[in-house]
Each structure stands twice: as C-alpha cells, then as structure tokens.
Structure 1
C-alpha cells in the first residue's frame, strides 16, 4: 500500500505524497485538516473527498499515485516469487558455522582500501512552505513593480517604472510565461505593482485555464485594497465620501473588469526572501526600469 495525504481547509490545500510535508504546510493554520489515504484502493474515496471540499488536484498526480502503488505491488510479488525454499535444520547449522568462519577471517585480514567516512552533517530541514506552489490552484501568478529616477536633458529627475508578472500553469506541467514592460512617469512602486497585476490577468484571458487562480504580490497595500475595498469602490463608482476619486481609480477599474469573474485569490508574499518566483519578478521589473535609465 502507498500512503498519500489530502490537506484541506487552508490555503495550502491539496494532495501530498509525504506525511512530513503535509503536516509542515498545514501546521500554521488552526483549521487545517490532514487526511490519510492508501493507494490504490482508496483513490476513488480521496477523489470524492477533494470534489466535496472543492480541492483541485491535477489528473497527473492521481496517475502518479496509482503508478507507485502498482510498482510496489509488482516489486512485492517478484520478491515473493524469488524467495528460496525452506532450509533444513542441518543446512541452517552449516550456514551459521560458515558465517562464523567468514567473520573470523575478515576480522584478521587487514584491508588496504582507504577508509570512506560518511557525511555526518544532518540535512537541512525543509521549513519554507512559500517555495511550494499551492496545490489548490491550477494557475499561479507572481507580480512585482519597480520605480527608478531618470534624469532628463534639463537635469530634472523624472521617474521610469518597470513591471513583471510570472504565470505558472500547473495544469500544463508548470509551464511558465513571463510578462514584463515599462512606463514613463509612474507615481510610485505600488502603481507599477497594479500595472503588473492588470497585465497578468489580461494576458491570462488568452489561455484556456480551468480551476482556481492564485496571485501573489509582495505589496501589502495593493493586496489589502484588492481583497477588502475594490468591490465597494466599484459599487460606489470609485468615489470617496469627500467627493474625490479613489487613488489610481482608472487602473483599479481595469483590474476589476478583468478579475471579477475569475476564481481568483490574491495573497501577500514576503519580498526579497527565498521565493524564487517572486525574486525573478523583482529582478525582471528592476531590469525593465534600469534599461530606460540613462
């Protein structure tokens, strides 16, 4: 039997082949549930459990679990067929004597081979769940924006901004698509972060994607505004109580237009950390801005 685990009721929900990893990604969430299954008999039950809890698991994962179970059964069957016939009492006694003699000879015989010492340094524990793509999402997006000063001919500083968005399609063997560009006279880096989000969601329409979408940004201001304020802004026509308009309301309106029908979840990710996807977006956005700086 091959064990596998389903994590539910948390952002890292999905199928995990390793119990240690499943416990590790769920320990930070109080309501998370880790359920154990055995392949191949309990695969249908696990699939029903995922469907009931709206957990997206790609078909390739189910197939890999089934293949592992078949391979283990075949190995156990082959080992059973190759087992030697039961030995008699005399044969067992002779075997024990031969083993004793062999050990004595080996202990007295010096070895000319160099001593090979095993590495005693313990392996570094995996304690960075942010490096794992969320199992519940079929498409994962990372975005970032950057702003740099650019002197013009009159020695006055003006700004140039770069943006980058990385689309990872887990349903297509984690195919990656990078989008990047620049804008002159941006207001601030948060504005360029919004541009990256808009460009990514607009490009997403060109691909046939099924399932949930996860978008990660390291700009807390933009993430909070998207999750808690954007819908209310749209209903109020992007107007504030004082009669003014929401900051960058035209761009927010574009973002709402391309996102409100998508099964999208926007989350914050720590910037300049060990998340390789976020770091790639950060470097690309900075490069787009730096290329325009004289």
Structure 2
C-alpha cells in the first residue's frame, strides 16, 4: 500500500522583496516534522514555492501519495490550471518569474502523486497557521540565507 503524506506549507516576506521565510509541516500517521528557513532578500511567491520544495526534498521515498495544502493561489493555480505546463513548454517566455524554483519543484513533483489544495490563509486552520508562524519567524531571524536565484536575477537586471 502506498503511503499517504499530508503537507502544509506557507511562505512570507517582509516587503516584496524583503527578508522572507517559509514554513512546512509534514505528517505521516502520528509522525510530524516541521521545516523552516529565512532568506535575507526574496519575494513572497518565492518563499511559497520554497516551502513546497523543502517539504518535497525532505521525503525519502519516491512514489508517495501526497495531499499538499497551501494558501498560495499562485501555486495551486499553476498546477491545477496547467500554468506550469505552459511555462515549461515555452521555457518561461515573456518574463515568467521564478523559473529556477519552478524547475526545481517540477523535478521533485514528477516523483510523487500530489494533490494540491488551497486553504484560506490566516483563518482557522491550525496547520496553515503553524506554517505561517514558522515562515514569519524564519523571515525575522538572524543569519538569513541568500536566495541566490532571486539575487542573481535582480543583479542581472542591473547590468
């Protein structure tokens, strides 16, 4: 029998761009794992994606059945409405953002069976709220990581 994993994710940035962070809660049976990290300069959408990526990278086996809950319409619509397939087919033409993270995500996504479910943010879902706390705490932390994909892209625009 294939294992069923439940994942909640959230991303945050203090300013857009600004310091940011992600949070994720992974659950399997009675086991639970929390993940988070903060970045010195990034965007909200990048952190939303990083929450999903970090959660999927933490999984040790391929072929899992996953229900992933997020308050990001950006992510849910990209998958459920086929935006990502169009972006990939056109190599992210017309300035579509976050190519580095979408490609990284897609390479993980293809190894599992994932159902994406949108949940209302800052509402009464305790797991989404926990992810929000993890993300905002990480964004407000010290020793923030460098979001190289974001900062390299911004630097290229300035050349």
Give the structure 2 partner of residue 200 of structure 1: 55
**CA distance in structure 1 between the aligned counterparts of 2:100 and 2:116, rounded to whole angstroms:** 20
Task: Write out per-residue CA displacement over residues 261-284 of structure 1, whole angstroms, 9 at most, x where no aligned residue.
Answer: 311111101111121111110011
The Cα RMSD (Å) is: 2.2
1:175 maps onto 2:49 in alignment: no
Q: How does 1:273-292 map to 2 (within 5 A)?
A: 273-292=123-142
CA distance in 1, matches of 2:87, 2:65: 24
- Over 3 Å counting, the alpha-carbon distance change for 1:178 and 1:255 in structure 2 is same
Between the aligned partners of 1:147 and 1:185, the Cα distance in structure 2 is 8
Deviation at 1:210, TM superposition (A): 6.2
> Are the equivalent residues in 1 in contact too, given 2:78–2:84 (CA < 8 A)?
yes
Cα deviation, 1:159-186, whole Å, max 9, x if unaligned, reads: 210111111013xxx2101110011210
Aligned to 2:18: 159
Structure 1 stretches of 4+ with a deviation exceeding 4 A read none
Matched, 1:254 2:104: yes
TM-score w.r.t. length of structure 1: 0.44
Q: Which has the higher contact order (CA 8 A, sep 6+)?
A: 2
Asked if structure 2 preserves the Cα contact closer than 8 Å seen for 1:160 and 1:292, the reply is: no
Equivalent positions of 1:103-252 (< 5 A) are: 138-149=4-15, 159-170=18-29, 174-186=30-42, 188-204=43-59, 206=60, 208=61, 211-227=64-80, 228-239=82-93, 244-252=94-102
- Please report how far the alpha carbon of residue 199 of structure 1 lies from its aligned counterpart in structure 2 after TM superposition: 1.0
Give SS of 1:291's match.
coil
Q: Compute the displacement of 1:209 (Å).
A: 6.9
Q: What are the ranges of 5 or more consecutive residues in structure 2 without an aligned counterpart?
A: 144-159
Q: Take 2:10 and 2:36, find their aligned partners in 1: how far apart are those partners?
A: 10
Decide whether aligned partners of structure 1 residues 210 and 255 sit closer, same or farther in structure 2, where only a CA change above 3 A counts. Answer: closer
Give the conservation status (yes or no) of the 8 Å contact 1:144–1:282: yes
The TM-score normalised by the length of structure 2 is 0.79
Q: Could you list the runs of 5+ residues in structure 1 that have no partner in the other structure?
A: 1-55, 59-136, 150-157
Provide the secondary structure at the position in 1 that maps to 2:92.
coil
Q: SS at 1:185's partner residue?
A: strand
For residues 248 and 211 of structure 1, do their structure 2 counterparts lie closer, same or farther at Cα, with a shift above 3 Å needed? closer
- Looking at structure 1, the residues matched to 133 and 19 of structure 2 have their Cα atoms a distance apart, in angstroms, of 15
